[in-house]
Amino acid sequence: MRGVVLHAPGDVRIEDRDDPRIIEPTDAILRLSATCSCGSDLWPYRGVEEVHDAVMGHEYVGIVEEIGAEVSTVQVGDFVVGSFWASDNTCEICRAGYQAYCVHRVLMGTIGTQATKARIPLADGTLVATPGQPDPDLIPSLMAASDVLGTGWFAAVAAEVGPGRTVAVVGDGAVGLLGVLAAKQLGAERIIAFSRHADRQALAREFGATDVVEERGDAGVGKVKELTNGLGAHSVIEAVGTQEAMDQAIRSTRPGGHVGFVGVSHDVSIPGDELFMAGVHLHGGPAPVRRFLPELIRLIWDRTIDPGKVFDLTLPLEQAAEGYRAMDERRATKVLLTL
Amino acid sequence: MRGVVLHAPGDVRIEDRDDPRIIEPTDAILRLSATCSCGSDLWPYRGVEEVHDAVMGHEYVGIVEEIGAEVSTVQVGDFVVGSFWASDNTCEICRAGYQAYCVHRVLMGTIGTQATKARIPLADGTLVATPGQPDPDLIPSLMAASDVLGTGWFAAVAAEVGPGRTVAVVGDGAVGLLGVLAAKQLGAERIIAFSRHADRQALAREFGATDVVEERGDAGVGKVKELTNGLGAHSVIEAVGTQEAMDQAIRSTRPGGHVGFVGVSHDVSIPGDELFMAGVHLHGGPAPVRRFLPELIRLIWDRTIDPGKVFDLTLPLEQAAEGYRAMDERRATKVLLTL
């Protein structure tokens, strides 16, 4: 098969790799229909995380080609979507809805799904089949469900978005934009998107944002307060992972409100006294995407939502290196790799 | 009237002060039946917070002596309990259950309830009357409801304590012990108290603790993991306010679990990456005691709970200075001042 390997910072190649095979009886082998690049892939690409000769990719959709003896919930030929964490979906943590912390979890990034095929551990707990073979135009949206949509959705759920709520979204990348979409689906009354980019503002509005705030930091917080009788938003999504974004999220939330944070934290420190006086709820981390996959697939299948719009560049897998370059040079936010 | 004044660090005196009078039509004047000293009073007493000639005290129970023209929910002669925040109980934040953040809130410490009388602002929203005049032995428990019980209760609610849950409590002061009591009342299946003091261990067990862990820090976390199949507790109460306690609380909680923190934060910093990977919910701050007062009063009145046991020294108000000394010298945890 063909697969992406990061040999050294900046050195991405697509090359021949051994075909995956069933190792555990709970495994499945997929022939991938699409995969993609994630913002988190840029950390090793830029040398911030030291990685050599590493397989890449953790998002995937595709067709089941082979199943282990113990796999029963998916069949050969099924079109399936899975999360970036493989999970048994039966342990106590999974049953509580936290499949990203499954006691048997496997991080798909260690398997590398920027490839034509992939072995999926714990297939019964990890994969969800679509109702049939999808129309080609649904593939980007199903691909988004594998990570960015599931992550934005989790952020909205963690922020306790619901009817009558005012929601603010910090971060206008793919996850933030899909947090807006999730907030709309979950019935939010008002959705305030922080964004300075015209194209992302437009997509935020298309996904359901009612207000766009260009200010950041305390000026941005001030704007949210203005829009909420001085109280702050009920629910705030943090989808960046920086100190500024976390501060902005906490300060934009009213006392008793909820912050859902999914930006991967980089050098963030939360002052205890400020959090104490803020009186907000704080919840986040790696999204348990598996919890939401059945519902997300249904919404995509019914064409209720179109989260695939967050992909702003589509390339064949063979041109993965160009996809990395485009993201590194900020010419693209999220790259779909087709097969 | 008589009231406590802190003239300078270590210099507490009980002296004559002007009788309080109605200022706003929403005020009530109470003749206090009891008051108490709080651990937080030690900060200015020890000179850590600079305070001079300050009135002291924010906890109180007593009899309504006079009401303003607009007060309607309490009557002259009622025995009442109030919180350390006066709140209107009608604003949007109060209605959401966060009366400690009422848009009109008044901190009772600025009024000073270590006195024979006190003016209570926003009486309708702040005070809750008992069903009748309490038997004298109920006074300490009603006094506890004003702050430490309400705070421990909020911590348990913030930690989402409930039937079937395993709860761990960090801190064996009055609030931590009453967090144990709250967890028991809220139906927790198992309650793990962290404590190294025989007398507090005994009271924790009396209040409902099923397990006592003497280890602290990561050793304490290890014990909680041992008791919970390696997963951690569902709910953890943090009732100290130090870095060690917060770390211990977060690390003792399973992914998807809840930390309720009410220890007043002193130099605490929460690392974003650790919180991200932990996947816990974090909620806390100054307790909205008013939310819980009707229920707490009922439980005390029915003699279902006896939170007054946390007072380990009782003195007449005239001996308040000795009460401060006893707490400063750790001869007492919580001092009841009688009138």
ipTM attached to this prediction: 0.95
CB contact under 8 A, A272 and B268: yes
Which residues contact residue B183 at a Cβ distance below 8 angstroms, ignoring those fewer than 6 apart?
B156, B161, B167, B169, B191, B208, B235, B237
* Calpha distance B180→B279 (Å, rounded): 24
Query: What are residue A37's phi and psi, to 5 degrees?
Result: -100, 145
| DSSP sequence for A106-168 | EEGGGT--SBSEEEESSHHHHEEE-SSPPPGGGHHHHHHHTTHHHHHHHHHHHTT--TT-EEE
User: For B6-19, what is each residue's pLDDT tens digit?
Assistant: 999 999 999 999 99
SS (H, E, C) chain B: CEEEEEEECCEEEEEECCCCCCCCCCCEEEEEEEEEECHHHHHHHCCCCCCCCEECCCCCEEEEEEECCCCCCCCCCCEEEECCEECCCCCHHHHCCCHHHCCCCEEHHHCCCCECEEEECCHHHHEEECCCCCCHHHHHHHHHHCCHHHHHHHHHHHCCCCCCCEEEEECCCHHHHHHHHHHHHCCCCEEEEECCCHHHHHHHHHHCCCEEECCCHHHHHHHHHHHCCCCCEEEEEECCCCHHHHHHHHHCEEEEEEEEECCCCCCCEEEHHHHHHHCCEEEECCCCHHHHHHHHHHHHHCCCCCHHHHCCEEEEHHHHHHHHHHHHCCCCCCEEEEC
User: How far apart are the CA of B277 and the nearest CA of chain A, in angstroms?
Assistant: 6
How much is the pLDDT for B51? 84
CA B197 to chain CA centroid, Å, is 20
Rounded to an integer, the average pLDDT of A181-199 is 97
* Cβ contact A339:A63 at 8 Å: no
Judged against a pLDDT cut of 90, whether residue B49 lies above it is answered with: no
Among the listed residues B165, B126, B132, B161, the one whose alpha carbon sits nearest the alpha carbon of residue B146:
B126
Delineate the domains of chain B, giving CATH numbers in brackets: 2-147+288-338 (3.90.180.10), 152-284 (3.40.50.720)
Give contacts of B 217-236 with A, CB under 8 A. Answer: 229-231
User: For B235-289, what is each residue's pLDDT tens digit?
Assistant: 999 999 999 999 999 999 999 999 999 998 889 999 999 999 999 999 999 999 9
- Tell me the average pLDDT of chain A: 96
CB contact under 8 A, B276 and A261: yes
Closest-CA residue of chain A to B280:
A283
* Calpha distance A129→A64 (Å, rounded): 9
* Calpha distance A235→B284 (Å, rounded): 16
CB contact under 8 A, A93 and B268: no
Give contacts of B268 with chain A, Cβ < 8 Å.
271-273
Give contacts of A264 with chain B, Cβ < 8 Å.
276
CB contact under 8 A, A272 and B275: no
Closest-CA residue of chain A to B282:
A282
Within an 8 Å CB–CB cutoff, is residue A162 touching chain B? no
Within an 8 Å CB–CB cutoff, is residue A101 touching chain B? yes
Q: Which of A91, A101, A238 to mutate to test the interface with B (most CBs of B within 10 A)?
A: A101
CB contact under 8 A, B98 and A282: no
User: How far apart are the CA of A141 and the nearest CA of chain B, in angstroms?
Assistant: 26
CB contact under 8 A, A254 and B93: yes
Closest-CA residue of chain B to A231:
B93
Rounded to an integer, the average pLDDT of A281-307 is 98
Which pLDDT band holds residue B106 (cuts at 50, 70, 90)? very high
Within an 8 Å CB–CB cutoff, is residue A275 touching chain B? yes
Phi-psi region of A171 (alpha: psi -120 to 50; beta: other; left: phi over 0): left
Query: What are residue B295's phi and psi, to 5 degrees?
Result: -65, -40
What is the identity of the amino acid at A267?
D
Structure tokens at B269: 């910093």
Which pLDDT band holds residue A322 (cuts at 50, 70, 90)? very high
User: How far apart are the CA of A89 and the nearest CA of chain B, in angstroms?
Assistant: 14
Which pLDDT band holds residue A295 (cuts at 50, 70, 90)? very high
Query: What are residue A222's phi and psi, to 5 degrees?
Result: -60, -40
- In which residue are the tokens 């025989």 written? B198
- Element holding A11 (H helix, E strand): strand A11-16
**Residue of B92, B264, B277 lying closest to A285 (CB–CB):** B277
**Residue of B98, B268, B282 lying closest to A256 (CB–CB):** B98
**Residue of A101, A243, A268 lying closest to B256 (CB–CB):** A101
**Residue of B276, B280, B285 lying closest to A264 (CB–CB):** B276
Give contacts of A 168-187 with B, CB under 8 A. Answer: none
3-state class (DSSP) for residue A34: strand
E strand intervals along A144-285: 166-170, 190-194, 211-213, 233-238, 253-261, 269-271, 281-284
Which pLDDT band holds residue B226 (cuts at 50, 70, 90)? very high
Give contacts of A100 with chain B, Cβ < 8 Å.
255, 279
Total number of residues shown for chain B:
339
- Tell me the average pLDDT of chain B: 96
What pTM, to 2 d.p., does this model score?
A: 0.96
Give contacts of A 45-84 with B, CB under 8 A. Answer: none
Q: Which of B95, B160, B166, B265 to mutate to test the interface with A (most CBs of A within 10 A)?
A: B265
Within an 8 Å CB–CB cutoff, is residue A282 touching chain B? yes
Within an 8 Å CB–CB cutoff, is residue A268 touching chain B? yes
* Cβ contact A193:A209 at 8 Å: yes
Which pLDDT band holds residue A39 (cuts at 50, 70, 90)? confident
Judged against a pLDDT cut of 90, whether residue A49 lies above it is answered with: no
What is the identity of the amino acid at A181?
L
Judged against a pLDDT cut of 90, whether residue A71 lies above it is answered with: yes
User: For A255-271, what is each residue's pLDDT tens digit?
Assistant: 999 999 999 888 999 99
User: How far apart are the CA of A139 and the nearest CA of chain B, in angstroms?
Assistant: 30
* Calpha distance A331→A316 (Å, rounded): 17
Residues above pLDDT 70, as percent of chain A: 100
Within an 8 Å CB–CB cutoff, is residue B85 touching chain A? no
Within an 8 Å CB–CB cutoff, is residue B96 touching chain A? yes
Structure tokens at B121: 């602002």
3-state class (DSSP) for residue A316: strand
